[in-house]
């Protein structure tokens, strides 16, 4: 097994959506847009790497202004 796969935190789309407080369709849109990678196991099961979702998080500037 490649070293990078051993460190992945894979989760279902539904569980990832609940973890980050977003709708499951948001996670699917991120996959479709190429913002995160979807991993298919068999014909129906799709998993996402929670570390990729963590990487999308960015802090707000003081006062709420976006950068």
Roughly what angle, to the nearest 10 degrees, separates helices 13-20 and 24-33?
110
Q: How many domains does the chain have?
A: 1
What confidence tier does 63 reach under pLDDT thresholds 50, 70, 90? confident
Residue 64 has pLDDT above 80, yes or no: no
What confidence tier does 62 reach under pLDDT thresholds 50, 70, 90? confident
**Tens-place pLDDT, residues 5-24:** 567 899 999 999 999 999 99
- Say if 28 falls within a structural domain: yes
- Say if 66 falls within a structural domain: no
Which 8-state DSSP code applies to residue 59?
P
Beta pairing, strands 10-12 & 38-41: unpaired
Q: Print the domain residue range for 28.
A: 12-57
Residue 67 has pLDDT above 60, yes or no: no
- Say if 34 falls within a structural domain: yes
- Say if 67 falls within a structural domain: no
Average pLDDT of 60-65? 74
- Say if 17 falls within a structural domain: yes
- Say if 43 falls within a structural domain: yes
Cα distance between residue 37 and residue 24, in whole Å: 15
């Amino acid at each position: 097994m490649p070293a990078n796969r051993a460190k992945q935190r894979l989760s279902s789309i539904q569980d990832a959506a609940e973890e980050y407080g977003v709708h499951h369709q948001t996670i699917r849109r991120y996959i479709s847009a190429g913002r995160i990678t979807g991993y298919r196991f068999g014909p129906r099961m799709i998993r996402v790497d929670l570390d990729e979702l963590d990487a999308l998080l960015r802090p707000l500037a003081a006062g709420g202004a976006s950068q």
